[in-house]
Structure 1
Amino acid sequence: MKIEFAPLNVPLRRRLQTAAVLQWTFSFLALAQCCLAVFVLLALSDWWMLALLYSGWLWLDWDTPSSGGRRSRWVRSWVVWDYFRDYFPIKLIKTVDLDPRKNYIFGFHPHGVLMAVLTCLSHGLSAVCLSGVLVAGAFGNFCTESTGFSRLFPGLTSHLLMLPFWFRVPLFRDYIMSGGLVSSSKSSLSYLVNRPEGGNVAVIAVGGAPESLDARPGALTLQVRNRKGFIKLALKYGAQLVPVFSFGENELFDQMENPSGSNLRTLQNRLQSIMGFAVPLFHARGVFQYSFGLMPYRKSIHTIVGKPILVAQTPCPSSEDIESLHQVYLTCLNDLFEQNKHTYGFNNDQHLTFK
């Protein structure tokens, strides 16, 4: 394989963009392990008292990730996120104003390639959580202010749902909460959408692990037909549903061919059923060369926030209520894609496929 190296005269601005994405990739691939190692070393050193004090704080703060988290506007406004945004670049586009007196569930599509462990929520919220949050559009738009979420949607606070396990890792949990990440547990989502005064946005990557196995450039297959847990909670608490489609998300990485029925796909499905997470074999570019690596390609991402679907609160929704609203959601999601696909590089013959 011929390796294409990056030229030496790359402008400083682009080098800073690459560095910003590199630290983001590192943050969700290795930072948790580093934080845990630091905590263990601290506990075994002469500074063990600091580890003990932090352990006490951790015990007192245990439920915060399931109670709205602890975001920091300062962290969300770091200049590094501007470089991160410009690397792709990422743009957040709203179609209508959203009433800040209501709570919302944003269904984020497509899921994109996973780079870390992902599991499913139990008891009804099947496969709606992010793990490593290495979904550039979701992170850039809803965990930072680089694309202007607070300006576009005044009065609303975005929360990106993430696997509960990561909020048990010392130090790392505090960092990810500062960006607006919260636990993807059922109680966490219920807390967000049950806020009486409104103003909360829970962002859920609906497709889950199975969809990540189909994520590759040009892919339009969404695992959503059997994802109804978030629909049930929307009905139970009267949260408004908003379909969100992120054009360009699947273009960030290549993935080995794994069609349904192939030996590779069979193995991936078996591993997913055993371990609870998908294992996509993906690649993109490196830091100093463009031929291979785990750095995403420089591809534009346009995240379109659709019109809200009005949901009447139904404390005990029936199966028929859930199915009816789910069909409405799928129709609105499909319409959102069809209305914008020509603008972002898709043609008349390309359509979403729901599985």
Structure 2
Amino acid sequence: MWVQFAPLRLPLRRRLQTAAVVQWIFSFLALAQCCLVLYLLLLLGDGWVLAVLYAAWLYLDWDTPARGGRRSAWARNWAVWRYFRDYFPITLVKTAELDPSCNYLFGFHPHGVLVAGAFGNFCTEATGFSQLFPGLTPHLLMLPFWFKVPFFRDYIMSGGLVSSEKASASYLLGHEGGGQVAVIAVGGPPESLDARPGALTLQIRGRKGFIKMALQHGAALVPVFSFGENELFNQVQNPRGSLIRTMQERLQKVLGLALPLFHARGVFQYSFGLLPFRRPIHTVVGAPIPVPKTPHPSREAIDELHKTYLDKLTQLFEETKAKYGLPEEKHLQLI
């Protein structure tokens, strides 16, 4: 296999963009493990007092990830996120006004391998969320497991990540006075196993928990489609029923995490590695779907709203796909 090396002479901004993405990949794949090792070293070494004090703080702060988190405007505005945005680049597209006196549930599609678009748009200010949607505060929901890792939990909360447990979503969507946005990657980790260039498969037909949650709190539903999300990585072939897919699905059920075998490019060459390809991401935020507050929604009400949501998501995709380079014959596959 021929290796295509990156040019030796590149503008500094390009190198800074690559460095920004390297640290993001490291944060996703290894930072939690490093934080855990650091804590254990402190606990078993001369820093045990600091470790004990942090444990006491962790006990007192345990519920924070399920109660809106602890975001930092300073961290969300770091320069590194602007370089991260420009690497792809990532663009946030507004199609309708959102009333800041209401709470919203954004359904993000597709999950992709590492939800790069969701992170760049909703966990940083690099794409201008606060300017596009004044008065709204976005929170990206993440698996609860990660908020139990010392130090790492504080880092991810600074960007606006919160726990994906039901109590967390309820806290946001039930916020008096509105202004809160809960962003859910509806397909979840299982959908990442189908994430590869050209794929338009969404695991959504059997996912109605977010619909029920919106009804219980009267939070408006907003379909969000991120064009380019699946173009960032290649993935080892894993068709349904294959040995690899069966093992991935079993591990996902045990660990709660999907393990897509992805690859793309490296730091100094373009032929293999774990860095995403430089391909544009356009995250399109659709119009809100009004939802009546129904504390105890019936199955029929959930099914009806779920159908409406699928129709609006499909409409959003069909009306905007040509603008972002997809041919007319490309359609969503909802499973």
TM-score interval for Structure 1 and Structure 2 normalised by the shorter chain:
over 0.9
Aligned to 1:308, which of 263, 285, 288? 288
Take 1:267 and 1:61, find their aligned partners in 2: how far apart are those partners? Answer: 36
Quote the residue 2:230 is aligned against.
250
Quote the residue 2:117 is aligned against.
137
SS of residue in 2 equivalent to 1:329: helix
The superposition leaves residues 147-188 of structure 1 with CA deviations (integer Å, 9 ceiling, x where unpaired) of 000000000000000111111111111111000000111100
Q: How far did 1:59 drift?
A: 0.8
Quote the residue 1:234 is aligned against.
214
Take 2:231 and 2:31, find their aligned partners in 1: how far apart are those partners? Answer: 25
Q: Over aligned residue pairs, what C-alpha RMSD do you find? A: 1.1
Quote the residue 1:36 is aligned against.
36
Report whether the alignment pairs 1:149 with 2:132.
no
Take 2:159 and 2:128, find their aligned partners in 1: how far apart are those partners? Answer: 14
Report whether the alignment pairs 1:288 with 2:260.
no
Quote the residue 1:61 is aligned against.
61
- Deviating more after overlay: 196-205 vs 264-273: 264-273
Quote the residue 1:219 is aligned against.
199
Quote the residue 2:85 is aligned against.
85
Q: How far did 1:38 drift?
A: 1.4
Q: How far did 1:45 drift?
A: 2.3
Q: How far did 1:255 drift?
A: 1.0
Aligned to 1:298, which of 259, 278, 283? 278
Take 1:87 and 1:164, find their aligned partners in 2: how far apart are those partners? Answer: 29
Q: How far did 1:135 drift?
A: 1.4
Q: How far did 1:44 drift?
A: 2.1
The superposition leaves residues 62-116 of structure 1 with CA deviations (integer Å, 9 ceiling, x where unpaired) of 1000000000000000000000000000000010110000000000000101xxx
Amino acid of the structure 1 residue aligned with 2:320: N
Report whether the alignment pairs 1:178 with 2:158.
yes
Q: How far did 1:28 drift?
A: 1.5
Quote the residue 1:128 is aligned against.
none
The superposition leaves residues 194-250 of structure 1 with CA deviations (integer Å, 9 ceiling, x where unpaired) of 001100000000012321111111101100000100000100000000000000000
TM-score, length-scaled by structure 1: 0.92
Take 1:317 and 1:210, find their aligned partners in 2: how far apart are those partners? Answer: 27
SS of residue in 1 equivalent to 2:81: helix
TM-score, length-scaled by structure 2: 0.98
Take 1:181 and 1:161, find their aligned partners in 2: how far apart are those partners? Answer: 6
1:120-135 matched pairs, under 5 angstroms: 134-135=114-115
Q: How far did 1:282 drift?
A: 1.4
Q: How far did 1:261 drift?
A: 3.0
The superposition leaves residues 29-63 of structure 1 with CA deviations (integer Å, 9 ceiling, x where unpaired) of 11111111111111222232111111111111110
Take 1:296 and 1:180, find their aligned partners in 2: how far apart are those partners? Answer: 23
Structure 2: tracts of 5 or more residues without a match: none
Amino acid of the structure 2 residue aligned with 1:271: L
SS of residue in 2 equivalent to 1:243: strand
Report whether the alignment pairs 1:160 with 2:140.
yes
Structure 1: tracts of 5 or more residues without a match: 114-133
Q: How far did 1:277 drift?
A: 2.9
1:265-280 matched pairs, under 5 angstroms: 265-280=245-260
Aligned length: 335
